[in-house]
Structure 1
Amino acid sequence: MVAQLPVSRGKFALPVLTAIVVGSMVGGGIFTLPGSLGRVAGPQGAILAWVIAGAGMFAFARVLQLLALRLPELHGGIYIYAREGFGNYVGFLSVFGYWLAGCMGNCTYWVVIKATLGAYLPVFAGGHNVSSIALASAGIWTAHFIMLRGPPQSAMVNLISTIAKLVPLIVFMLVLAAAWNLQVFQANLKDTVGGTSLGQQIKATMLVTLYTLLGVEGASVYSAFARRRADVGRATLLGLLVVTIILVLVTVMPYGVLARSELAGIRQPSMAGILSAVMGPAGGVLVGAGLIISVSGAYFAWTMICAEVLFVAAHRGDMPRIFGQANDNHAPVAALFASNLVVQVMMIATYWSSAPYYMMLQLTSEMSLIPFLLTALFGTGVLCRERMRGLRRARRPANLIIAICAVIYTLLLVFAGGSRAIANTAIFYSIGSCLYIIARKEQHQRLFNVWEKAIFVGTLIIGAWASSDLIQNGLPTPGLAEFRS
């Protein structure tokens, strides 16, 4: 028998839910955006990329809002929607992929912190030596014990760090506004970016923009803690609006200060290099401090999300029941431990890697593609059924159009990821399916129906082929090489 989620697990008001969204979206990626987009796109390409990403993610956020209102009994965010719409095994793939993406993202946060400190403290130079890994390990488990005090306390830490991380971003935008030069911007408009078309520029930025927008679903994941169910959708849209405005300004404004070729070659985090060019070394120190605060806050937010998703999945019977354990503070102890343990293992593995940040960054985006697509498809299906049944609330065709736009956007993301993204995810899904088998046996439930068995076998075949290719040819060059320091 599947255990039920606790009825009352805390009360998050709208500001706290919004801070979870902003805190999980604003991480280390925003500090690399000017250089990463400047490497592959001019101002026109960057602006169009954000128009597409902003519109697509708004449509996705609107789907989350509608689902929160239509199906208030469903908690756990985008995973539970995949399960309800496509069955147990597909739901498991969604929760496992989403959880692993969060853990990979958390690993990149610690790599960024170590690399930033290494620029000022020689003992951490390189970001993946023994001293750096020891520092990151201490941080991982310090954060772990703070989070054991329960989601409300962890959310308050996230709220404070979210406010703190916005300060250097605001300073960056104000400094660039004062230094902005129309002639420099016009010259960048004429830059051909090596002869690449606008379509190629936009495709090259899609996984980059997705990575920086991940976390928009944070309030949905914590819907069980919302004081009012309607606040989940409000926090999602409000957080997305705030972060999108910041991302667009941070991306576009540097084109009015430095030539695109300079932006492309600037050392990461590029925001620090830009401020150093405008206001001297003090600018780089300011951004470095802001980056550490920002990444630390994002780490808290994402670890909370990872643990909560695993906890809810265990109570639904889609993960082994051990992950459903909670302490007296309602903290999901086993899920939290598992999430941080995965980050710790990945952190140790960075010792043998020359470019862990870039590969993890790409994998984080790739592992998020299927969960996002399934949620958009489920939301569209819900709205279609409402219209077919003639329900009064379904008479607004705009909602269905928005949901279809969300599907189109997520399909474009899968296209941008390409066959390599599908192959990479199949490797992890093949390994992770062991957890699904354990969970089903614990529930004394049938493992697969016919079409789930076909998906399982297909996943194993693609995963085996991808693993063989990996062994023969080694790790591919990260598609997000524009993040290189």
Structure 2
Amino acid sequence: MTTQTSNSTSNTASPPSGGEHKLGLIALIAIVVGSMLGGGVFSLPQNTAATSAVGPVIIAWIIAGIGIYFIANSFRLLSDLRPDLQAGVYMYAQEGFGSFIGFNVAWGYWLMTAFGNVAFAVILMDAFNQFFPGVFTDGNNLNSIICGSVLIWGYNFLVLSGTKVAGFVNTIGTIAKLVPLILFVILLGFLINYSQVLSNFLGNSPQIMQTVNGQAEPVSLMSQILAPMTVTLWAFIGVEGAVVLSGRAKNKKDVGKATLIGFILALVIYMLMSVLPFGALTQSKLALVSNPSTAKVLAHVVGPWGEWLMDIGLIISVLAGWLAWTMLCAEIPMVAGQKGAFPKVFARTNKKQAASVSLWVSSFIMQAAMLLVYFSNNAWTTMYNISALMVVPAYITTTLYIAKICLNRQYDQYAKRGRHLALISGILGALFCVFILYASQMQYVALVPILLTCGLPVFIWSRKEKGNNQRLFEPKEYIYISILLLLDVIVAALFLTGVVSL
């Protein structure tokens, strides 16, 4: 991290000042788990069962678990091989594929964190509605927008107070929110009907149906497997949290450990929370449960106090997860500013070493998105789908980067063994990213190139700022830009002709 004050900037990261608090293994694990186990985990029963039976849900989690393992392993390996690349989500892309690709990864990841925080606000307000009926209806009425906005700026000032305070609060919050999740799993584990879990295992007896263009159609086994895939990706976003904050780690080796441990903990919790509810309610009833669905499921099993328990747990979870993501949201543009991918102004920090300018800008972006939520019919679904897909560029470039250094033998400069396994991890991780795009809803996939294109003015600003007669775009970057603009034209045509719509 830098040692600059808020009035100076630098293109390179300097050693931390003696007053900066560094993150240990437990704090890094808390960042990873806290980033992943956000508000979305409390809606998993309904989200995964919406059009899928328990068998396809299990298969979806296994596929997602394997795919995310290779992504997480790629981050783990690279954090050990290249500890010099701080905030690796952005740096791996730039190191492997050039400045323009690196910028787009940083830009896309930044937007992902911002939209993710707004999704937190929506589901948090929806949970508040349980305690104040009619006050926060659907999480996107006027009261919700006001309260969510207050929290956005509250977190802004909390993170500005420095990593020590924010990291401590996040660790406590992560521990606190695990309690209701563990209780949910234990209670269902003892009280559900396991024979019901196995009934209609594949969703074909009776056949699961869905409404398409006003008509009921059967949902095929493959469609049942693909349906929850975006939900699973959304659930795992944050597995790279320790890598993003690697510049603040006490021991660089802890980054890889925290990534793997956090991934395993989250996967176990996710699978249990998705499968066990099928023993409390049938798939058709789970699909209609309102979110946060864990509250309704536990209420069905133990009574009204179960709903209160899970709603309180959701509030704690979102508040803790929101803090972790606010820290990540500020870190990416700050490091990008230090390295020259973003304008230098983003590199500024305050006396607490907090990423002040990037945090303020991030908060304004979140505020703007929060205002747009007011006009959305299904704000939660829209926000988590956009967030899930905007992280794909970061994941695919990271996995392709480790595959690249394995193929060109650069890997051997950093380690004496493990190159073949690293290559497999990179290739399979990249293929999983492509699979996620295939499995996701087209209207949200189509937004990815549009949102990436919105970052071009910032990229041009940073290039002009460097001076030294540097070209605005390198020859190969014109190819990248042409592809991006071509995708924009195709997307615009799809929306204008009504082939896809939000």
Deviation at 1:396, TM superposition (A): 5.3
| 1:454 to 2:462 alignment | no
| 1:246 to 2:269 alignment | yes
Q: 1:183-228: CA deviations, max 9, x gaps?
A: 2112141532334333222221111100000000000001111111
The aligned residue for residue 253 of structure 2 is 230
The aligned residue for residue 451 of structure 2 is 428
The number of residue pairs the alignment matches comes to: 477
Contact 2:140 2:373 in 1 (8 A): yes
Q: Of residues 143, 156, 163 in structure 1, which corresponds to 2:168?
A: 156
**Worse overlay, 361-370 or 433-442:** 361-370
Contact 1:103 1:306 in 2 (8 A): yes
Deviation at 1:469, TM superposition (A): 4.8
Deviation at 1:419, TM superposition (A): 5.3
Q: 1:426-470: CA deviations, max 9, x gaps?
A: 111111111000001001232222221121122223224434654
**Worse overlay, 214-223 or 403-412:** 403-412
* TM-aligned CA distance change 1:389 to 1:234, over 3 Å: closer
Contact 2:126 2:138 in 1 (8 A): yes
Counterparts of residues 269-284 of structure 1 (less than 5 Å):
269-284=292-307
Contact 1:383 1:394 in 2 (8 A): no
* TM-aligned CA distance change 1:3 to 1:390, over 3 Å: closer
TM-score, normalization: structure 1?
A: 0.94
Q: Of residues 52, 56, 63 in structure 1, which corresponds to 2:74?
A: 63
Counterparts of residues 328-477 of structure 1 (less than 5 Å):
328-386=351-409, 393-394=416-417, 397-417=420-440, 420-444=443-467, 445-467=470-492, 469-470=494-495, 473=498, 476-477=501-502
Deviation at 1:471, TM superposition (A): 6.0
The aligned residue for residue 45 of structure 2 is 34
User: Quick one: distance in 2 between partners of 1:289 and 1:196?
Assistant: 35
1:138 aligned partner, one-letter code: V
The aligned residue for residue 5 of structure 2 is none
Contact 1:24 1:218 in 2 (8 A): yes
Secondary structure (helix, strand or coil) at the match of 1:215 reads: coil
Deviation at 1:143, TM superposition (A): 1.2
Deviation at 1:391, TM superposition (A): 7.8
Q: 1:100-141: CA deviations, max 9, x gaps?
A: 011001001001111111233132223222222111111111
Contact 1:387 1:394 in 2 (8 A): no
**Worse overlay, 332-341 or 129-138:** 129-138
* TM-aligned CA distance change 1:336 to 1:259, over 3 Å: same
* TM-aligned CA distance change 1:475 to 1:391, over 3 Å: closer
Deviation at 1:316, TM superposition (A): 0.7
User: Quick one: distance in 2 between partners of 1:42 and 1:232?
Assistant: 37
User: Quick one: distance in 2 between partners of 1:168 and 1:455?
Assistant: 47
Contact 2:401 2:426 in 1 (8 A): no
Contact 2:10 2:347 in 1 (8 A): no
**Worse overlay, 14-23 or 405-414:** 405-414
Q: Of residues 289, 304, 317 in structure 2, which corresponds to 1:266?
A: 289
* TM-aligned CA distance change 1:69 to 1:390, over 3 Å: closer
User: Quick one: distance in 1 between partners of 2:148 and 2:223?
Assistant: 37
**Worse overlay, 55-64 or 231-240:** 55-64
Q: 1:25-84: CA deviations, max 9, x gaps?
A: 001111111111111211111111111111111111111111111111101121110111
1:361 aligned partner, one-letter code: Y
The aligned residue for residue 78 of structure 1 is 89
User: Quick one: distance in 2 between partners of 1:277 and 1:407?
Assistant: 41
Contact 1:107 1:343 in 2 (8 A): yes
1:6 aligned partner, one-letter code: S
The aligned residue for residue 5 of structure 1 is 13
**Worse overlay, 198-207 or 133-142:** 198-207
Secondary structure (helix, strand or coil) at the match of 1:32 reads: helix
Deviation at 1:359, TM superposition (A): 1.0
* TM-aligned CA distance change 1:74 to 1:389, over 3 Å: closer
Contact 2:405 2:411 in 1 (8 A): no
2:223 aligned partner, one-letter code: Q
The aligned residue for residue 197 of structure 2 is 185
The aligned residue for residue 131 of structure 2 is 120
**Worse overlay, 121-130 or 149-158:** 121-130
**Worse overlay, 178-187 or 249-258:** 178-187
Contact 1:387 1:395 in 2 (8 A): no
1:354 aligned partner, one-letter code: N
User: Quick one: distance in 2 between partners of 1:325 and 1:28?
Assistant: 31
The aligned residue for residue 236 of structure 2 is 213
CA RMSD in angstroms comes to 2.0
User: Quick one: distance in 1 between partners of 2:449 and 2:415?
Assistant: 41
1:33 aligned partner, one-letter code: L
Contact 2:129 2:135 in 1 (8 A): yes
Contact 1:119 1:125 in 2 (8 A): no
| 1:49 to 2:60 alignment | yes
| 1:14 to 2:25 alignment | yes
The aligned residue for residue 90 of structure 1 is 101
Deviation at 1:307, TM superposition (A): 0.5
User: Quick one: distance in 2 between partners of 1:263 and 1:92?
Assistant: 42
Deviation at 1:7, TM superposition (A): 1.0
Q: Identity rate of aligned residues, in percent? A: 34
**Worse overlay, 126-135 or 231-240:** 126-135
User: Quick one: distance in 2 between partners of 1:474 and 1:130?
Assistant: 32
The aligned residue for residue 170 of structure 1 is 182
Deviation at 1:334, TM superposition (A): 0.6
Secondary structure (helix, strand or coil) at the match of 1:330 reads: coil
| 1:143 to 2:155 alignment | yes
* TM-aligned CA distance change 1:474 to 1:356, over 3 Å: farther
2:290 aligned partner, one-letter code: R
User: Quick one: distance in 1 between partners of 2:264 and 2:35?
Assistant: 14
